[in-house]
Amino acid sequence: MVAIVLAICWLARRRQRRGLSALAPALAACLVAVAGSAAASVLVSPSAAPGGEVAIPGSLPFSEEALARARAEGPVFLYFTADWCVTCKVNENVAIARDPVIDAFEQAGVTVLVGDWTRRDPAITRFLESQGAAGVPLYLWYAPGQGAEQLPQVLHSQLLVDRALLPAAAAGL
């Protein structure tokens, strides 16, 4: 989708350089971008629906206390989301709530914590700021005994599977 918008913008710039109107391609780029956003919102998983439901069954709500307890027990995947965040919902659907990720997390004993920032909770806002994030999405991986590793804002399931199974593979299990 992004490639199409960029191609249309390139065409608009090319027309501009030749002294032609770039209005039609610019409008087309806007329409493609809006259509892409609408299509992405359709991808919202029912398991990540509004109302505080989470993408992975058994996930726990975020609090600093819950994070401290979970870190003492093993690996932690902490993610911050909001019902209005299209990127968050797409990631939940195409990367997080996938059977390979759920299976790997179960196998590795990963605790999943979810910070729902839909209503801009002040405690979550403070935590996001402490991590250098202005908002959502924010994905953090805590390997046992280590600090937070900030993951990319656009996720893929293999990244999460690799994080979960890496310690077991390194130990030769």
Using one digit for the tens of pLDDT, what is the confidence trace for 79-89?
A: 999 999 999 99
**Same domain? 29 vs 109:** no
Of 44-48, 143-147, 154-158, which range is least confident? 44-48
> Which amino acid belongs to residue 94?
V
Question: Residue 92: what pLDDT?
Answer: 95
Q: How many domains does the chain fold into?
A: 2
**Same domain? 112 vs 140:** yes
Q: Could you tell me the CATH number of the domain that includes residue 69?
A: 3.40.30.10
Q: Which domain holds residue 50?
A: 46-170
The reported pTM is 0.68
**Same domain? 137 vs 116:** yes
Q: Is 48 exposed, middle or buried (CB count within 10 Å of its CB: 0-12, 13-18, 19+)?
A: buried
**Same domain? 28 vs 78:** no
Beta bridge partners of 148: 142
- Angle of helix 99-108 versus helix 157-170 axis, rounded to 10: 30
For the segment 49-77, what is each residue's pLDDT rounded down to a tens digit? 444 555 788 899 999 999 999 999 999 99
**Same domain? 60 vs 129:** yes
